[in-house]
Structure 1
Amino acid sequence: MLAVAVVVGFSSAAWSAAPSTGLGQAWPNAADVSVSPHYHVYRFVLDGIQYIQVNDLGGTVHAAIAAANGTVLVLPIGVDAAKAKSAVAGTSATASSIAETVYQDATVSVSATPQSDGSVQVLATPKAAADTCSNPGECSNVVAKPQ
Structure 2
Amino acid sequence: MIKILPRRALCAGLFAMGLSASAFAAGPSSTGLGQAWPNAQDVSASSNWHVYVFSVNGIQYVQVNDLDGNVRGAFAAANGQFLVLPMGRDAQRISTPQQPVALASSVVPLTSYAETVYRDSSVQVSATPLSNGATLFNATPMATTTAAPSPCDNPVECSGHVN
**Normalised-by-shorter TM-score class:** 0.7 to 0.9
Q: 1:115 aligns with which of 102, 109, 130?
A: 130
Q: Does 1:53 align with 2:63?
A: yes
Distance 1:80 1:95 in 2: 16
More strand per residue: 1
The answer to whether the 8 Å contact 2:30/2:56 transfers is no
Q: 1:43 aligns with which of 48, 53, 75?
A: 53
Q: Which has the larger radius of gyration?
A: 2
Distance 1:67 1:98 in 2: 25
Q: Offset at 1:77?
A: 1.2
Q: Does 1:17 align with 2:26?
A: yes
Unpaired stretches in structure 2, ≥5 consecutive residues: 1-7, 99-108, 147-163
Unpaired stretches in structure 1, ≥5 consecutive residues: 89-93, 132-147
- The percentage of aligned residue pairs carrying the same residue is 54
Distance 1:7 1:79 in 2: 41
Secondary structure, in 3 states, of the residue corresponding to 1:97? helix
Relative contact order higher in (CA < 8 Å, ≥ 6 apart)? 1
The equivalent residue for 2:149 is none
Distance 1:5 1:25 in 2: 29
Q: Compared with structure 1, are the counterparts of its residues 12 and 23 closer, same or farther at alpha carbon in structure 2 (3 Å cutoff)?
A: same
TM-score, length basis structure 2? 0.66
Q: Offset at 1:4?
A: 8.2
1:34-66 deviation digits (Å, cap 9, x = unpaired): 010000111111111010011110111111111
Aligned pairs for 1:50-129 within 5 A: 50-87=60-97, 96-129=111-144
The equivalent residue for 1:91 is none
- Aligned CA RMSD, in angstroms, stands at 2.6
Distance 2:132 2:35 in 1: 23
The equivalent residue for 1:135 is none
**Matched positions, count:** 126
The answer to whether the 8 Å contact 1:49/1:67 transfers is yes
